[in-house]
Amino acid sequence: MSLMSTSSLDPAIAARLKRSADGLVPAIAQQYDTGEVLMLGWMDDEALHRTLTTGRCTYWSRSRQEYWVKGDTSGHFQHVKSVALDCDADTVLVRVDQVGAACHTGTRTCFDADVLLSDAD
């Protein structure tokens, strides 16, 4: 489980968040200038605080049970341009300037390999 109790997130923001049972909110990363949806990660209060204060996306790894900063290992950084909550305050949209691949498979986006329907053809 995440470490929400040690968070420095602004209490006014924390009070608005609607978290899942495990204390997380989905965080959609979107390329700021093109609108391209890059990936979905998970944030707890501390990950959101770090994202807001460092200018780099920090996520909570559900599999490893630890924080990770996008790009620290891969070099594929996400530089934060803006952060917004959706109308229900249960999803975060982080508009970023993506450097390199966003997906752990090495592709630009996590949403390009398994297209179920497309009217682009």
Which residues are known binding-site members for Mg(2+)? 86, 88, 90
Binding residues for Zn(2+), as ranges, are 87, 103, 110
Q: Are strands 92-98 and 58-61 parallel, antiparallel or unpaired?
A: unpaired
Contacts of 80 (CB under 8 A, 6+ apart): 51, 52, 55, 56, 57, 94, 95, 96
Burial class (CB in 10 A: 0-12, 13-18, 19+), 67: middle
Q: What phi, psi does 5 have (nearest 5°)?
A: -65, -20
- Residues within the annotated binding site? 86-88, 90, 103, 110
Residue 63: what are its φ and ψ, rounded to 5°?
-80, -40
Instruction: Kindly report the backbone phi and psi dihedral angles of residue 12, in degrees, each rounded to the nearest multiple of 5, phi listed first.
Output: -65, -35
